Amino acid sequence: MKKSFVYIGLAALFFSCSGSEDSSGNPGPPVTPVESGNVVGTANVWVTNGEQTKLLSKQSSGASIYDTNATTDPSISVDFSQQYQEIEGFGAALTGSSAIVINGMNATQKDALLKDLFSTTEGIGLSYLRLTIGASDFSSANFSYDDMPAGSTDASLANFSIAPDETDVVPVMQSILAYASNIKIMGSPWSAPAWMKTSQSMNGGSLKPEWYDAYGNYFVKYINAYAAHGITIDAITPQNEPLHEINTYPTMKMTAVEQADFIKSSLGPKLQAAGLTTKIIAYDHNFDRTDYPLSILGDAQAAQYVDGSAFHAYAGEAGAMNVVHAAFPNKNLYFTEVSGGGWSTNFAENLKWSIGNIFIGTTRNWSKNVLLWNLALNSNSGPTNGGCIDCRGVVTVTANGSVTKNVEYYALAHFSKFVKPGAKRVNSTNFDNSLGLQNVAFVNADESKVLVVLNTSQTARKFAVKIDDKKIVYSLEPQAVATIVWQ
């Protein structure tokens, strides 16, 4: 379903120019209004449009910077002194399926794809990945890191092994590190081992309280096992989509009370005792249930171990993140999953929805990152493991190794290539609603400035951006996104 956000505009309506008229009453040639001020510089601009004639295309003319902020164009103001959350990165999930697809390419193809996705100099610089802790609905099969025969248990986790990940996920992750050595990585489980659960199955059921300590140790072993391969897990969530339980692929129900109990009685203390600084991020589910993260953050014993909360976009709106921020401004917010797919194939509509609702929507509502679902899938939207059969990856890799960059690739690139880890979101006002323009602004650690503007309308929009006593002027074509970068 297409979603929209309401933004309160501070700018004037777009103005049109009129032609001149001679003494006989005949209209003369149209008069182009002269921009006030002198051009003192140029901002670089990259554009993707709905027609796909421009795909992250650098514009030769750029955007003019003037020595005055006086304007009659619709305008916004950007205040780089008013800074908000620090950005940790942009990316997607390296699911088991994504790793299988990438690892199946020949060495030349794989290197070219990873360079394009992760290099900050030759690619789009993806800077954050999410891994599944054990199997998900995008894995080769069901597995945990400690599977036991039916009726058996392993309280000491003597059988623990990440061997299922060592065929594809670990080697692909290590190859990625060659291009992005500081990439942030989050791990999320879809299910605990079956023997720990009420269902005695990976598919559905809940975690038994008697196994809380064993499961806390399971996370410690996971983090340490990946570290042994040179892969640092920066953050974990206790459960992916804890309110979603189904018996066709790995899921595990975990109520807010249960998650708080698990965090404060086992997970938090176990990580702390092991000397691990891995962040615990609560919830990891849809915008529509703010009561869940609010409950955990409101539990002082649990909250002391919790860095913040994470959200998905399959229900509700991004403004929910601001509700949680307002209640707990010292806790961080993250956006960790949404997928495109066969249910929505119009490039222009997907571009507008993704940029407006996900990338602009979540960052304007305090998210420190933006993660999409599968990084790569094959031409059959797989491999799959009992879940979505028509999800779309950021890229599609065919059997012969050729790559199609999907709309998600370009949406990500408009942020990941320009907004670097450590950047701060800064204050930017909103355009008048009637214009169909949305925006968000950042300043990087090197002081470079980034403004992303989306034109959802069917009309080209000329606008001005006021920065102190200067302005940037640009005209953005219909159904297009522009990333504007300057020093």
Q: Which of 245, 337, 349, 477 is catalytic?
A: 337
Q: How far is the CA of 368 from the CAs of 45, 153, 385, 485, in angstroms?
A: 24, 39, 30, 20
Inter-residue contact 51 to 447 (CB < 8 Å): no
User: Is 21 assigned a catalytic role?
Assistant: no
Degrees to nearest 5, angle at CA 237 with 231 and 238: 120
State the Cα–Cα distance between residues 238 and 218, nearest whole angstrom. 11
- 3-state secondary structure (DSSP) of residue 336: strand
Q: Which of 21, 51, 88, 241 is catalytic?
A: 241
State the Cα–Cα distance between residues 459 and 424, nearest whole angstrom. 31
Give strand pairing partners of 155.
Answer: none
State the Cα–Cα distance between residues 297 and 327, nearest whole angstrom. 9
Q: Which two tokens stand for residue 107?
A: 């060495």
- 3-state secondary structure (DSSP) of residue 361: helix
Burial of 26 (0-12, 13-18, 19+ CB in 10 A): exposed
Hey, what amino acid is at 120? T
Inter-residue contact 479 to 348 (CB < 8 Å): yes
User: Is 317 assigned a catalytic role?
Assistant: no
State the Cα–Cα distance between residues 398 and 418, nearest whole angstrom. 29
Q: Torsion angle, CA of 49/52/57/60, rounded to 10 degrees?
A: -80
Active site amino acids: 241, 337
